[in-house]
Amino acid sequence: MSTDTPFITEDFLLRSDPARKLYHDYARDEPIFDYHCHLSPEEIASNRRFENLYEVWLAGDHYKWRAMRANGIPEELCTGDGSPKEKFMAWAKTVPNTLRNPLYQWSHLELKRYFGINLLINESTAEEIWQKANARLADPDFCVHGILNRFKVRVICTTDDPTSTLEDHQEIRKSDLKTRVYPAFRPDRAFRVDDPEDFNPWCDQLAEISRIDTGSFSGFLDALSQRHDFFHSLGARLSDHGLSRCPEGPCSEGQAKSIYEGARGGQAATPEEKERFSFAMMVFFGRLDAEKGWTKQMHLGALRATNTRLYKRAGNDIGTDSIADVPQAVALSRYFDQLDSEGSLPKFILYNLNPADNYLFASMIGNFQDGSSVGKIQFGSGWWFLDQKEAMEWQLNALSNNGLLAHFVGMLTDSRSFLSYCRHEYFRRVLCNLIGTDMLNGELPDDYDLVGGMVRRICYSNAADYFGMEPGRA
């Protein structure tokens, strides 16, 4: 048996006494408000139990697949037909070569917090880790509900297509789960007028679920509005859009109608037509959100599905996406301005994937704060390639220098894995180390009620206050 060699200590990432005090006294024990994730409502509703470490830790994890491919692991052991144990062993072989990649820290943090395993992950320890973790997974409390209770997750907002029945959400509401689970409205396929083969079946699904004919553009909008109402009835208070950049208008109702009718007739929209149509739809969705007091999220800056060979083999979300370098400022400003001018600008969280644009986004949010609510327009936490220590600090510094860090709604998992709640701990340690360093250097006062209170609010209560959603009891 291997000897434990603890890597994740109690003071991991905390390099000063103020940082340690901020974390242990103010941040560590706060509950979690996970306002954006990709967890499966079905797995929450069924209180899924996982058969082995691969199922709970590696399946669907494109971060790990990217590293494994770079380590010379064949696709069969990433997204292919390899056995669960073979895939885990391939990952264990890869981990020692992820030094300085956040995967190295995340992986050891997850093993420690979920399984109590302190071993360094490598080929020599892989069998022992596999056996210990699988034994832990057999415990009655190691189910989805048990994980959520253990990590004090009070709120989860999933990511749901407008055509979803939300039946799983309704089942969750009937259960004794202490976490409150809400849907979030993500209508990405409503923009795909450039791909009638995908767009038209989706419009037909929308018609079926809403019982509104989507043959006309007005019917399409009515059906989307009806689904928005239904999401609201189940507690939804957030929408989300994944776009490379904010689309640019203007687009009249007549133009949008013509583009829609063309797509429904099988005519793919040109890039320029899709741009205008997307702008019209974003204005429409912005109005819906504002009317109901929702928060709109926009995830901007991704270049998706770049590898045709792997896309044909395994589809989307397999680790072939990267950071885009598209212009953001002008279109984003015009979009905000249109909604603001007509009194239809909802609360908003902007997430940026290209760190070159951090100050662009952090300064943009200040243009449209209107005094109606605290921190109405937010610069969201670093996501995807930026949800690691260095980039978290970039985002926190850009927000601090251009806005009010004290009102920041904090961290989210943006994950498909129930083992990702350690990311909240990781973020809290990064936050406390950054703020603690300022205190150590005399750049912030030695007043823990003041500074520690801000840290505590960023970890939980800012989000709870901002979104206005009833939390659970976890």
Q: Which of 51, 268, 177, 395 is nearest to 168 (CA)?
A: 177
Residue 110 per-residue DSSP state:
H
pLDDT at 2: 59
Q: How many Cβ atoms sit within 10 Å of the Cβ of residue 243?
A: 16
pLDDT at 5: 62
Retrieve residue 362's tokens: 């952090």
What's the pLDDT tens digit per position in 195-253? 999 999 999 999 999 999 999 999 999 999 999 999 999 999 999 999 999 999 999 99
Q: Which of 308, 273, 253 is nearest to 195 (CA)?
A: 273
What's the Cα-to-Cα distance from 166 to each of 49, 69, 112, 423, rounded to whole Å? 21, 36, 34, 27
Q: Which of 312, 311, 295, 291 is nearest to 303 (CA)?
A: 311
Contacts 24+ apart (CB under 8 A), 359-365: 359/398, 359/401, 359/402, 360/328, 360/329, 361/328, 361/398, 362/398, 362/399, 362/401, 362/402, 362/403, 363/402, 364/329, 364/332, 364/333, 364/336, 365/402, 365/403
Q: Please, which pLDDT band fits residue 3 given cuts at 50, 70 and 90?
A: low
What's the pLDDT tens digit per position in 321-330? 999 999 999 9
Q: Which of 144, 120, 130, 43 is nearest to 84 (CA)?
A: 130
pLDDT at 6: 78
Retrieve residue 326's tokens: 């598209």
Q: Which residues contact 429 (CB under 8 A, 6 or more apart)?
A: 12, 13, 14, 23, 27
What is the rounded CA–CA span in Å between residue 116 and residue 473? Answer: 25
Retrieve residue 344's tokens: 């239809």
Length of the chain: 474
Give phi and psi for 323, each to the nearest 5.
-85, 135
Q: Which residues contact 385 (CB under 8 A, 6 or more apart)?
A: 322, 323, 353, 391
**What is the DSSP code string of 66-84?**
HHHHHTT--GGGTTSS--H
Q: Which of 170, 176, 179, 12 is nearest to 102 (CA)?
A: 12
Retrieve residue 443's tokens: 């750049």
pLDDT at 290: 99
468 has a pLDDT exceeding 80: yes
Task: Please state the separation of Cα 48 from the chain's center in Å.
Answer: 21
What is the rounded CA–CA span in Å between residue 244 and residue 249? Answer: 15
Q: Please, which pLDDT band fits residue 343 given cuts at 50, 70 and 90?
A: very high
4 has a pLDDT exceeding 80: no
What's the pLDDT tens digit per position in 16-33? 999 999 999 999 999 999
DSSP H or E run through 339: helix 329-341
Q: Which of 441, 457, 439 is nearest to 374 (CA)?
A: 457
Please state, for a pLDDT cut of 90, what percent of the chain lies above it. Answer: 98
**What is the DSSP code string of 126-158?**
HHHHHHHHHHHHTSTT-BHHHHHHHTTEEEEE-
Beta carbons of 405 and 399 less than 8 angstroms apart: yes
291 has a pLDDT exceeding 90: yes
> Hey, what CATH class is 184-412 in?
alpha beta
The superfamily in CATH containing domain 49-137 is uronate isomerase, domain 2, chain A (1.10.2020.10)
Retrieve residue 358's tokens: 């951090």
Query: So where are the chain's domains?
Result: 49-137, 184-412
Rounded to 10 degrees, what is the CA torsion of 443, 448, 453, 459? 80
What's the pLDDT tens digit per position in 124-182? 999 999 999 999 999 999 999 999 999 999 999 999 999 999 999 999 999 999 999 99
Beta carbons of 368 and 345 less than 8 angstroms apart: yes
